[in-house]
Structure 1
């Protein structure tokens, strides 16, 4: 009786642990905020002037000397402010 119990429960436990590990690994690799995005500045004659790569999340504003805060381009405008993670 004891051996048939382990023969049935042990494979189910191994499969459950495997599935949980696979799902947690997939969730960790799904962080798209880390990918750099092109930053654009608002200049008087060019509303979306291409500058440097920035992050979509972080604590410090992504800036360029002489241009100030950088933004993400959406269509013809640049409404979303960008940040730096370091």
Structure 2
């Protein structure tokens, strides 16, 4: 096992992506369940579940931006032959 500080950029990106994906899925499920529960009983209470869905959408967008910048940084690092 390698110490945490010796991880490469790609290993860090993969582990962070897996973690964030798990969180995003949980937020989407919570939002969807809330929307379906509240829509039949009290439609005026649907604001919080809808906000959860919007937040989860922004999390997906942020993860995509992170992936784009991370892959670009890895490519630049490989081009310059900077040791990790």
- Normalising by structure 2, report the TM-score: 0.38
Give the structure with the larger strand fraction.
1
Bigger RCO of structures 1 and 2 (CA < 8 A, at least 6 apart): 2
The structure with the larger Rg is: 1
